[in-house]
Amino acid sequence: MTITRTLLLVALLPMAACQPADTARSAAQQATAAAADAMGKTSRDAIERARRELADADIDVGEGETKAKISPRGDLLIDGKPVPVDETQRALLLAHRGNIVKVAEAGIAIGMQGANLGTRAAGGALKSLLGGNSEEFSKQMEAEGARMEAEAQKICDLLPDLLASQQAVAAALPAFAPYATMDASDVSGCRTRHAGNDEAGGQTGEALTQAPDRSTAGNADAAARVEADAPAMDAAAEADAAAARR
């Protein structure tokens, strides 16, 4: 089932309000279930595809006038040319690459959670209006958003290892040093930004409940925009580049 079909299913949900209450609720439940199933499959497929691409691609690292990449074999490529490395340096490069991939995969997964939250909000908002329990639904969405924010904070836990592996490569391989652009402030800044954003998850859920007539696309975008600020993607150029490869 394609994204287009998913959006069409959810776009039809408001029409159910024109039907008798029981019929409308049944139609809403069926359409919502179909949309959720489709979005779930699409999300899983997208995550798996992105993981395959991350596993097979040369991953950009750092910033500089010339591009630097780490290949799946642990080669350091600067301006497309391999830099001679010994086995110890290669092992360090592979470890750093692995940490970049972990951060990127975590960001991808959380982005998909945001899209799924948008799908549930689109269908759930209609059902809550028909059933007269919009306040309960609003609280449920706020809780869902808060849980998603808590998951996003876990990305911060990955950053110390990312910084450590970057520093290890820079110390062992001078050619890599100019591309070691992440520092300790990126790690601490990640937690600081999230500490000041404790209510973001609840606000996301609340926003999704206030527009039941929006399509899944709009709701998913609203949720995804919160995750677009995920500090792991800002904390290191390596993670930014890896996510861009998908």
The sign of the CA dihedral 14, 16, 17, 18 is positive
Spatial CB neighbours of 3, under 8 Å, sequence gap ≥ 6: 38, 42
Note the pLDDT of residue 27: 60
| Tokens 């601490």 found at | 188
pLDDT beneath 50: ranges in the chain = 1-14, 16-17, 200-246
Q: Pick the closest to residue 200 from 233, 231, 159 (CA basis).
A: 231
Predicted confidence (pLDDT) per residue in 172-201, tens digit: 999 999 999 999 999 998 877 766 555 544
Note the pLDDT of residue 111: 77
Spatial CB neighbours of 182, under 8 Å, sequence gap ≥ 6: 162, 163, 166, 235, 236, 237, 238
* CA angle (212 as vertex; 210, 217 as ends), nearest 5: 105
Predicted confidence (pLDDT) per residue in 60-100, tens digit: 998 878 999 999 999 999 999 999 999 999 999 999 999 99
Cβ contact 231:189 at 8 Å = yes
Q: Kindly provide the b/e burial profile for residues 46-68, where b requires at least 16 CB atoms within 10 angstroms of the residue's own CB.
A: bbeebbeebeebbbbbbeeeebb
Where are the domains positioned within the chain? 3-244
Whether pTM exceeds 0.75 = no
